[in-house]
Amino acid sequence: MRAKTFQFLRALPIALFHDMHQGNITLRAMGLVYTTLLSLVPLLALSFSMLKGFGVHNQMEPLLLKLLEPMGAKALELTQQILGFVDNMQVGVLGFAGLAILLYTVISLMGKVEEAFNFVWRVKRPRSFLAQFRDYLSVVLVGPLLLFSALGLWGAFSQWEVVHTVVTLKPLSLVLQTSPTVLIVLAFTLLYLFMPNTHVKPWAALGGATFAGVAWQIAGWLFASFVVSSGQQTAIYSIFASLFLFMLWLYVGWLIVLTGARLAYYFQYPDAVHLPQQPTETSMQTRELLTIAILREIGTRFLNKDTPATLDDLRQLIPVSRFLLENTLDELNIYGIISRDDDEPTHYLLRISPDKLSVAEIRQRLWQGTPKQQQQATQIRQQAGISSEWLNTLVNTPDATMQQLIQAAPAETARDDQGIIR
């Protein structure tokens, strides 16, 4: 156990460095910056209209100020500008078309965030549109109300005289000083539990959120120091300085959030930290071996009338990386060999009875691929001037040499000077 923990801790920084060096997480963070800029005002307007009905909409400004605190003196100016845009957007008088566009913008933002989280968690199936509409609107409309209710209770609790007496004690005073970080960690934990379209274990989400919360606080202090030290440069850019700093802080924030999500993924699936040391592309032999091993286990459960296998069941029987198993299962599902249900966790079943599914058919489907891949192969065959007869010769005579195949090539595949097949 200790040896495995040591191996995990040793491989974890390498895996995170590989993720950053590969650039996909940083690109996702950059994309979310622009999506946030386009969707921030509609998102706040929708939440603002909900909070206004309960008379707590004025509490939005302190929350934004806290969020933009690392921007220093620019935070107040930017907060007032954002809230000015929100005030000018009257949700009640938008009409059906305007409200529909507003909802679409908000759902689009949340969808991009989920897409980034699904990429980090290597989840290939997004939520359905109805699930997105239901879940995202619940978060946007009910989430702020619960947040401000919790803050209101905390404020009322802090006014009690007994609380003022207790917090003068040194240990409790230290706890109170760390409460902002604890709240950030709690918020990130809920985000990591909700956003990926997969089951996230609470302890894994908490582990990633702890890193992200501490990193957020440290990054905030460093960014505030950067803003103070770059006063002359921001004066040169004048009106664009606030926007530049805001975009930079958004990028840092999203990068921290996505890195914490990847860390939560590694906590939940420790063997994934070794993926950077493995080949990203598999050979045909590896694909066939994994396919046969997976179908053997799924078929055995079918014949024994056992519960269909989940991914974790297959990983216990086939001790390879989760990444390879997921990719192979996705391919078999696309090729029509197996099917998957919508339960959590997902169960995998054969689409064809084991007594009717031949090895030749499995290889044929793996070789041909999806209908789109078959269409692509047909186009390549036509563009390369390979006739059906010559292709059949290639398939049916595996012992033939390349010279024999070249001599057997039909004359109609010759090309003219422009490289066009005649």
Assigned domain for 419 exists: no
169 and 91 in one domain?
Answer: yes
8 and 62 in one domain?
Answer: yes
Instruction: Give the per-residue pLDDT at 380.
Output: 86
Q: Note the maximum CA span of the chain.
A: 97
- From first to last of its 422 residues, the chain has per-residue pLDDT tens of 677 788 888 888 888 888 888 888 999 999 999 888 888 877 777 777 766 666 655 667 777 777 787 777 777 877 887 777 777 766 565 666 777 777 788 888 888 999 999 999 988 888 888 888 888 877 777 766 666 666 566 556 556 665 556 556 556 556 556 667 888 898 899 999 999 988 899 999 999 999 999 999 999 889 888 877 776 665 555 566 777 888 889 999 999 999 999 999 999 988 888 766 565 567 888 888 999 999 999 999 999 989 999 988 998 888 887 888 888 998 899 888 999 887 878 899 999 888 898 888 888 888 888 788 888 888 888 888 777 777 777 777 778 787 877 776 654 444 444 444 44
59 and 28 in one domain?
Answer: yes
Into how many domains does the chain fold?
3
Burial class (CB in 10 A: 0-12, 13-18, 19+), 106: buried
Assigned domain for 64 exists: yes
Assigned domain for 198 exists: yes
103 and 190 in one domain?
Answer: yes
- Which of residues 224, 255, 275 is at a domain's end? 275
239: which residues sit within 8 A by CB, 6+ positions away?
none
Instruction: Give the per-residue pLDDT at 349.
Output: 92
207 and 116 in one domain?
Answer: yes
Assigned domain for 370 exists: no
CATH of the domain at 358: 1.10.10.10
Assigned domain for 406 exists: yes
387 and 349 in one domain?
Answer: no
317 and 259 in one domain?
Answer: no
303 and 328 in one domain?
Answer: yes
Assigned domain for 418 exists: no
34: which residues sit within 8 A by CB, 6+ positions away?
none
β pairing state of 309-310 and 347-350: antiparallel
Domain that holds residue 408: 381-413
Instruction: Give the per-residue pLDDT at 418.
Output: 46
Neighbour count for residue 57 (Cβ, 10 Å): 19
Assigned domain for 153 exists: yes
User: Token pair 């913008």 is at which residue?
Assistant: 105
- Which of residues 232, 248, 275 is at a domain's end? 275
Assigned domain for 421 exists: no
203 and 93 in one domain?
Answer: yes
354 and 395 in one domain?
Answer: no
Handedness of CA 124, 130, 132, 134 (dihedral sign): negative
120 and 6 in one domain?
Answer: yes
- Which of residues 249, 275, 301 is at a domain's end? 275
Inter-residue contact 79 to 31 (CB < 8 Å): no
SS3 category, 418? coil
391 and 304 in one domain?
Answer: no
Instruction: Give the per-residue pLDDT at 295.
Output: 94
